[in-house]
């Protein structure tokens, strides 16, 4: 799995950092900071949840084949 976060689309809602604090943080302006783009398998569920909760659809999950 690969995660990408589009800081240009992010509106700083903070849902990602709230549900997946190990994967996402926010900078001083509230904009998403990706802490790791290749999560451990144990983090897949929470990564998908963060992506689905983002109101700006700024988080993209690419599932590996």
Instruction: Please tell me the distance from the alpha carbon of residue 8 to that of residue 41, in angstroms, as a whole number.
Output: 27
Kind plus residue range of the DSSP H or E element containing 63? none
End-to-end distance of the chain based on CA atoms, in angstroms? 9
Task: Find the binding residues for ligand SF4 in span 2-41 (CB under 6 A).
Answer: 5, 10-16, 24, 26, 32
Q: Does 54 bind ligand SF4 (CB under 6 A)?
A: yes
Please report how close the Cβ of residue 6 comes to ligand SF4 at its closest, in angstroms. Answer: 8
Nearer to ligand SF4, 13 or 35 (CB): 13
Annotate 6-24 with DSSP letters as a single string.
Answer: -TTT-----HHHHH-TTTE
Q: Does 51 bind ligand SF4 (CB under 6 A)?
A: no
Nearer to ligand SF4, 14 or 35 (CB): 14
């Amino acid at each position: 799995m690969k995660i990408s976060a589009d800081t240009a689309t992010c509106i700083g809602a903070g849902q990602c950092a709230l549900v997946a604090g190990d994967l996402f943080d926010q900078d001083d302006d509230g904009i998403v900071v990706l802490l790791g783009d290749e999560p451990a398998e144990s983090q897949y569920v929470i990564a998908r949840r963060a992506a689905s909760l983002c109101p700006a659809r700024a988080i993209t999950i690419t599932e590996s084949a």
